[in-house]
Amino acid sequence: MNDAKLTASELVAAYATGELSPVEATQNALQVIAERDEECNAFCLVDEEGALEQAKASEIRWRDGNPIGWLDGVPTSIKDMFLSQGWPTLRGSRCIDKDQHWDVDSPVTARLRENGLVLLGKTTTPELGWKGVTDNTLTGITRNPADPTRTSGGSSGGSAAAVAAGMGELSVGTDGGGSVRIPASFCGIVGMKPTHGRIPLYPASPFGALAHAGPMARSVDDTALLLDVLSLPDHRDPAALAPPIGTFREAVRRDVRGLRAAFSPDLGYVDVDPEVAAIVRAAVTALSEAGLHIEEIDPGFSDPKDAFDILWSTGAAKWLDSFPSGSETKIDPGLRRVWEQGRTFSASDYLGANAERAALGILMGEFHTRHDILITPTMPIPAFEAGHDVPPGSGLSGWPDWTPFTYPFNMTQQPAISIPAGQTSTGLPVGLQLVGPRHSDDLVLAVAKLLEEIRPWSPR
């Protein structure tokens, strides 16, 4: 069986029948990495020997009829922000010492191992995951498999590029302002930021209430299966939620026809590329024809960028203040500016921004008493030229200026997913974002599944 285009769900079905083995799937993923990663630069570490050892152990479990999880043997990667025993976690930074003991697994890494997934390696990130594209002076520029002259997005751009290119079926990223959804949209895959606390984090993120981890996959079913794995509890995160009732792999098939949805094409203040707008509107029309009751209406808030900037830059500054002396000369110049900006804000500024964040969450909670789901574009633009922090010639000053649909919902801590909606005339993917009330991860996945069924999409 040729597994080059199989999803994770299809892989495990093939394992169960014996048509395919985890070793064959892992060898295939490693072959695609060898063929495509020089162009995409999605990985900063590939552990071929370790991956094949894990795959052989999974093969024995499947042969004996004893898989240890729904995704046992699926080739997977993790962003280089998650601690991983035996692998350095440099977070794209020259300021982190590679030669130290790496003997702790983050909750994400631990859950993947416990459920038998095959860890291929670690994917690229901008330094400390600070921006919406993926490049750093340590590993270079990560590019979009759909068009390598274009950015993959970020900060989980390595994970998105890996999944989109077939370098493993699954990955896990982090999302503090859109870092799972931005590259998912640009690369044409599914990327989900679940409710804050749904996936336990350790160490605690300096970005606090903004910080999430999220599954990245080529199908909604795979996203749900991976979220089931990642949602298992871990005592090291005091903000972690209780385990969900039921499973996401079952909830994804919930019938959502008849739900009340709101479509906001621009949140009331965003300039959207006309081609992107048309693609998203066509997908919304398809959802309406499939049975959602959709009203075109804005949620009713103004751009919270100023408050987000305070929360983001103070978190970065707190983190960087702990770095060794002289780090100012080694870090990304853009990150250094964020560090300097964060140092200018007072405790009162931070508390004021946090109060604005809370008020935005209350407003969205009230909005969702009338609308079960909010639909927006994921990004207002398609992927732009790689190697730039902002679209060339745009005059924009920073990455939040071109990601206005994502960071507000980090502030509100709501679940949000990007799912492919189509592609531009030049073949660049375009994502649609679904946002649900806090704790409605199952609903968001179910609506995403409906869109996937009525408008099938393959990123390759």
Residues contacting 170, CB < 8 A, separation 6+: 8, 71, 74, 75, 76, 77, 117, 163, 215, 216, 217, 222, 226
Phi and psi at 129, nearest 5°, equal: 65, 35
313-345 b/e (C-beta count within 10 Å ≥ 16 → b): bbbbbbbbeebeeebeeebbebbbebbebbeeb
Residues contacting 47, CB < 8 A, separation 6+: 87, 119, 120, 121
Q: Is the peptide bond before 203 cis (omega within 30 degrees of 0)?
A: yes
Spatial separation of the C-alpha atoms in residues 76 and 58, rounded to whole Å: 13
Phi and psi at 367, nearest 5°, equal: -60, -40
Spatial separation of the C-alpha atoms in residues 331 and 95, rounded to whole Å: 7
**Selected catalytic residue, list 9, 58, 77, 79:** 79
- Is 131 annotated in the active site? no
The DSSP code for 393 is: T
**Selected catalytic residue, list 84, 155, 159, 205:** 155
**Selected catalytic residue, list 21, 58, 179, 313:** 179
How many residues can be counted in the chain? 460
Cα–Cα distances (Å) from 63 to 23, 69, 114, 254, 261, in that order, read 12, 14, 18, 33, 46
Residues contacting 106, CB < 8 A, separation 6+: 82, 83, 84, 201, 202, 203
Cα–Cα distances (Å) from 416 to 142, 262, 406, 439, in that order, read 24, 14, 8, 11
Spatial separation of the C-alpha atoms in residues 287 and 280, rounded to whole Å: 11
Spatial separation of the C-alpha atoms in residues 34 and 158, rounded to whole Å: 15
Nearest to 383 by CA among 418, 431, 419: 431
- Is 179 annotated in the active site? yes
**Residues assigned a catalytic role:** 79, 155, 179
